[in-house]
Amino acid sequence: MAVFTEVDFGEADALVQRLGLGPLRELRGIEGGIENTNYFATTESGEFVLTLFERLGAEQLPYYLCLMKYLAGRGLPVPEPVADPAIQPPSGHALTVPANAPCELLLKVAGKPAALVQRLSGRSELAPGAAHCTELGALLARMHIAARDFPRIQPNLRGLAWWNDTVTVVLPYVDESQAGLLRAELAYQNHVAESSAYAALPRGPVHADMFRDNVMFATGENAGAAPRLTGVFDFYFAGTDTWLFDLAVCLNDWAIDLATGQHDAERADALLSAYENVRPLNAAERALLPAMLRAAALRFWISRLWDFHLPREASMLKPHDPAHFERVLRERAAHPHAMAQSLEPLAA
């Protein structure tokens, strides 16, 4: 999250009043992140997050917004977008709806496509323990199962095709060792994607960005009480992909040592066990988990290189250090069997 586009208070006030939320009391830019413009918006109806989409087009956004509404409607702790009462939602099966059909969840602010969603309660846990990973693993599996029948399909826009295109853009900014690793890993991931084992992986809508700062836990619980996950947000990298890739993204953030990129067995065990208690992995997923851990590390190393060396102008913009996911990728490639111990009890 960041502020690329300044939003006039009066325009935001007119919007929330048109949506039936009462007058705007406060509008505050959100620091952090690098993709969209985000504000906290306080109205007499409650707390909301206003997002202006800086890269995504209006033809792509209904997938994300409808997925959030779909999951929220099935009891998952996901922020529900606020609908514009002036727009009639399309009728019929979602797959038959034209891409340019009006979407009641898609707004426009400062000339940009936008959305207003409920603000979640709680706070992110940036130093999670095993108990936090248990909560996350169970929630991720529930989300995968709940989204199986989501009727819209949209590829993961930051998937393999994007990696192939973007590596050529970032290569001039890295040293010889890094360039060699990028080329070798990209070749490996293209090989994996052509395999029959990869074709056998279950897939559906995935979050694809469920990092520590995109998950909320309850605050003010009794001392010593187990953590309670209260929400997951920022679905704007979601898409149709393998569930294993989604799981790998989580393991690469929640179950590693941030300083070194090394595998943390205790947190990985907790996350995987909780996930499998809800949705057991199949044989193809077990076999390809090491490859998908490398894929997830490659994806975020590429995107961080891109954002770091080719930044956009914005207020409150703090690009992430790309070296972090280089370390994670090197660790995953050097120790492909690090997850074996975590998987063994699950197979028993």
Select from 80, 96, 118 the last residue of a domain: 118
DSSP secondary structure, 212-255, as one string: GGGEEE-SSPPTTPPP-EEEE---TT-EEEEHHHHHHHHHHHHT
Q: Does residue 3 fall inside a structural domain?
A: no
The pLDDT score that the predictor gives to residue 316 is 46
166 and 210 housed in the same domain = yes
For 207, the domain range is 130-347
pLDDT at 130: 97
> Exposed (0-12), middle (13-18) or buried (19+): which is 95, by Cβ within 10 Å?
exposed
Question: Which pLDDT does position 219 carry in this prediction?
Answer: 80
Q: Residue 285: is it exposed, middle or buried by C-beta count within 10 angstroms (0-12/13-18/19+)? A: buried
Q: At what angle do helices 176-193 and 283-309 cross, to 10 degrees?
A: 140
CATH number, residue 311: 3.90.1200.10
Q: The domain spanning residue 63 has which CATH number?
A: 3.30.200.20
Total domain count, the chain: 2
The backbone region for 103, taken as left when phi is positive above 0, alpha when psi lies in -120 to 50, beta otherwise, is beta
Give the tokens for residue 323.
Answer: 């070296």
Beta carbons within 10 angstroms of residue 106's beta carbon: 20
Q: What is the DSSP letter of 129?
A: -
Regarding whether 176 and 270 lie in a shared domain, the answer is yes
290 in Cβ contact with 325 (< 8 Å): no
Task: Kindly state whether residues 144 and 95 are assigned to the same domain.
Answer: no
Considering only CA atoms, give the Rg of the chain: 20
- pLDDT at position 214 is 95
Residue 188 lies in a domain: yes
* C-alpha to C-alpha distance for 236 and 274, rounded to whole angstroms: 25
pLDDT of residue 303: 96
Residues 105 and 204 placed together within one structural domain of the fold: no
Does residue 316 sit in helix, strand or coil?
A: coil
| 277 falls within a domain | yes
Strand 37-43, strand 215-217: pairing: unpaired
Whether residue 147 sits in one domain with residue 20: no
> From the CB of residue 156, how many other CB atoms can be counted at a distance below 10 Å?
21
Please identify, among 118, 146, 177, the residue that sits at the C-terminal boundary of a domain.
Answer: 118
What six digits make up the tokens of 144? Answer: 């995968």
Q: Which of 88, 118, 148 is the last residue of a domain?
A: 118
Same domain? 324 vs 182: yes
Answer yes or no: is 124 within a domain: no
Asked if the structure places residue 194 within a domain, the reply is yes
* Co-location of 135 and 111 in the same domain: no
Query: pLDDT per position in the chain (348 positions), as tens?
Result: 467 899 999 999 999 999 999 999 999 998 765 678 999 999 999 999 999 999 888 888 999 999 999 999 999 999 999 999 988 666 554 554 444 456 899 999 999 999 999 999 999 999 999 999 999 999 999 999 999 999 999 999 999 999 999 999 999 999 999 999 999 999 999 999 999 999 999 999 999 999 999 999 998 666 568 899 999 999 999 999 999 999 999 999 999 999 999 999 999 999 999 999 999 999 999 999 999 999 999 999 999 999 999 886 644 456 789 999 999 999 999 999 888 767 766 555
- What pLDDT, on a 0 to 100 scale, did the predictor assign at position 57? 83
Structural domain contains residue 123? no
Q: Are residues 293 and 245 in the same domain?
A: yes
